A and B are shown apart, each in its own frame.
Chain A
């Protein structure tokens, strides 16, 4: 059973990422805060007796479900519905060189001078914006797999899809981000 401290530490460690992930999905700070709060309370009420090691997976699942519930409510109210399509975006370009983009990103983010710091901040904002622009399922897979650092099986469990789908979503997300960054001039 997770102790109060373990639960508190876990929530503290995850709350900002959870908020950001939800903002990407619902595009509203207030709604995202409500959703994260609901997810936290549900975790605390229903699963506080579970071992601390199980909390991350359970919390992400609750958060995903709470976000889906929000979309359902919004749909009922005829509000703006974000694109949650599975297979949006172009097919990955086989000749596209990810290594070049990786070097460009590593070079840009590793910069140290004052002018480089400004450009670094711009690149961070750009990456943030491009992640927000990803199709919903791709973004969710990308964030769970590489930001929350879940493995493929855990990501599939949270998303309620197959491991193959997770790999496809992640790959497409990375391709799309790399392509978008190159289009914005992030090159080695």
Chain B
């Protein structure tokens, strides 16, 4: 064999040798320990179970879309994921709205109570300044005359 023909054949020889060497790996791989084979079988079964679950979920999703009316599917079909995401925030929004409503109601109650007190004070015969008079306070503390 000449040097030039060797260099021409080199990729072919390299590929043949590589295939022969790789093929020999099949022999050693065929005799794996039983526990390894068992774990591989378990992993395979797990994977197949997950694939079945994934298909079931996909089929259920497709079925629910098919169950809508044509106009509903047209309207909601493409927005369904967006609507589902938005729906997840709905309870939070309701909670915030409720809290704000309660706060507004309490504020209004406080204002109304203060207004009631003010109107009673102003409508009374006793002037409001009397309550800041020390003599009047002393009069209230003193025993009533017999």
Using a CB–CB distance below 8 Å, which chain A residues touch chain B?
4, 7-8, 11-12, 15-17, 19-20, 29, 33, 36-37, 40-41, 43-46, 48-49, 97-99, 101-102, 105-106, 109, 123-125, 127-128, 131, 142-143, 145-147, 170-171, 173-175, 177-178
* Contact status B48-A128, CB under 8 Å: no
Q: B80 at interface (Cβ–Cβ under 8 A)?
A: no
* Contact status A49-B25, CB under 8 Å: no
Taken residue by residue from 52 to 78, chain B's Cβ proximity to chain A (1 for < 8 Å, 0 otherwise) reads as: 111100100000000000000000000
Contact of B13 among A8, A11, A102 (CB under 8 A): A102
CA distance A173 to B17 in the complex (A): 11
* Contact status B40-A36, CB under 8 Å: yes
Q: Which 9 pairs across A and B sit closest by C-beta, in order of nearness?
A: A37-B43, A44-B51, A40-B47, A146-B22, A48-B51, A44-B47, A147-B22, A102-B17, A146-B18
Contact of A105 among B20, B43, B51 (CB under 8 A): B20
Q: What's the A-B contact tally at a CB cutoff of 8 Å? A: 128
Known: A4-B52, A44-B51. A101 touches B39 (CB 8 A): no
CA distance A187 to B49 in the complex (A): 50
The residues of B that contact A102 with a CB separation of less than 8 Å are 13, 16-17, 20
The residues of B that contact A99 with a CB separation of less than 8 Å are 1, 6, 9, 13
Name B3's closest neighbour in chain A (CB-CB).
Answer: A95
* Contact status A16-B47, CB under 8 Å: no
The residues of B that contact A7 with a CB separation of less than 8 Å are 47-48, 51
Q: B108 at interface (Cβ–Cβ under 8 A)?
A: no
* Contact status A33-B58, CB under 8 Å: no
Known: A41-B50, A124-B24. A11 touches B44 (CB 8 A): yes
* Contact status A17-B16, CB under 8 Å: no
Q: B138 at interface (Cβ–Cβ under 8 A)?
A: no
Q: B30 at interface (Cβ–Cβ under 8 A)?
A: yes
Using a CB–CB distance below 8 Å, which chain B residues touch chain A?
1, 6, 9-10, 13-22, 24-30, 32, 36-37, 39-40, 42-44, 46-48, 50-55, 58
Interface centre among A44, A124, A177, by most chain B C-beta atoms within 10 angstroms, is A44
Known: A16-B40, A33-B40, A49-B55. A174 touches B17 (CB 8 A): yes
Instruction: Give, as a whole number of angstroms, the nearest-CB distance from B62 to chain A.
Output: 11
* Contact status A15-B40, CB under 8 Å: yes
Contact of A19 among B1, B40, B50 (CB under 8 A): B40
Q: List 17 A-B contacts (CB under 8 A).
A: A4-B52, A12-B44, A15-B44, A16-B37, A17-B29, A19-B36, A20-B25, A20-B29, A33-B39, A37-B42, A102-B13, A105-B20, A128-B25, A146-B21, A146-B22, A170-B18, A177-B21
CA distance A131 to B22 in the complex (A): 9
9 new A-B contacts, CB < 8 A, other than A36-B40, A40-B46, A145-B18, are A98-B10, A98-B13, A98-B14, A102-B20, A131-B21, A147-B22, A147-B26, A170-B18, A171-B14
